[in-house]
Chain A
Amino acid sequence: MKVLIVDDSRAMRSVIGRLVKKLGHETVEAGHGREALEKLAGAEHIDIALVDWNMPLMNGLELVQAVRANPVHASLPLLMVTSETEIERVVAAIEAGADEYLMKPFTDQELATKLELALAARANRQA
């Protein structure tokens, strides 16, 4: 499985990337929402995107809205991974189309579980 990690922090992309690779998946990285859309439009097939909220140029919520609005990528599983911890933010992200929401800080196990839940949630919505 190929996982797109969208976060403006290289350090956080590195942390998440190592965990994802440990789970046996490949990673692709983007530093903000616009770059993520470029990656999605490229030749590589992306299976799921892990999306930070606070990023320059295009934030995570805007990215989720853009992905869901594009018929080509609308079925992509999306997992928000962010330090935004208010329930209002979680609701906003889910209403915009995120499949799951993971708050930073998180443990390795929490990331693995949320990754599976996001994939399952999207599969259920598509069924």
Chain B
Amino acid sequence: MDGEQLEELMRNIWDAMLLPEAPLEGAPPESCGEDYDLCACVDIVGAWNGVVSVECDEVLAREIARRMFGSEPGAIVEGDLMDAMREVANLIGGNVKGALAGGCALSLPRATRGSESLLLDGGQATACERAFTSEGRRLRVRILQEAEGR
């Protein structure tokens, strides 16, 4: 999967199930920095091994969770936030896996505060990434491939 395909996939998920009312704008990854508030990941294992991660600012994650839960602003608790982030990673990861050749399996997703702390152990290289903003809030999606022989 290349960057354009990843961007198209993210836009499809965004418009169908996340925040269609808040446009998702593409952004150069280097302009978005590295310090995101929340990170969720899912592993892909099998013919291809790696991680799909989604990171975003907390305000945006709260808005995504609020819409998914159909809650009022301010009603989202920490568990809701993490659950919504895990599901976003699952949606992206499942569709990335579907675009890969060969048999692969998807792990259960995980989420945490901070950026990158859930990634395996630094033994991966970024295969593809896309950064976005929505109403000024940042979001980044990355596909990281595990190093050969690990």
Contact = CB atoms under 8 A, between A and B. Distances in A.
Q: Indicate whether A and B interact.
A: yes
Interface of A: 8-12, 14-15, 18, 54-56, 82-86, 88, 104-107
Nearest to A17: B70
Contacts of A107: 16
A106 B97 CA distance: 17
B148 to A, nearest CB: 24
Contacts of A12: 68, 87
B50 interface: no
Nearest to B85: A11
Nearest to A9: B87
A82 B94 CA distance: 8
Interface residues on B, range: 20 to 34
Interface string B49-93: 000000000000000010011100000000010011011001101
B16 A106 contact: yes
A8 B99 CA distance: 24
The list of the 3 closest CB pairs from A to B, nearest first, reads A83-B94, A85-B98, A105-B16
B108 interface: yes
Interface of B: 12-13, 16-17, 65, 68-70, 80, 83-84, 86-87, 90-91, 93-95, 97-99, 103, 106, 108
Q: Per DSSP, are chain B's interface residues mostly helix, strand or loop, or mixed?
A: helix
A56 B106 CA distance: 12
Given A83-B93, A86-B97, A105-B12, A14 B17 contact: no
A93 to B, nearest CB: 14
Nearest to B105: A54
Given A14-B68, A105-B12, A9 B98 contact: no
8 contacts: A9-B86, A9-B90, A12-B87, A18-B70, A55-B108, A84-B94, A104-B13, A107-B16
A43 B98 CA distance: 38
Given A9-B87, A11-B80, A83-B93, 12 more contacts: A8-B108, A14-B70, A15-B17, A82-B94, A83-B90, A83-B91, A83-B106, A84-B106, A85-B94, A85-B98, A86-B98, A104-B95
Given A9-B86, A84-B106, A105-B13, A14 B91 contact: no
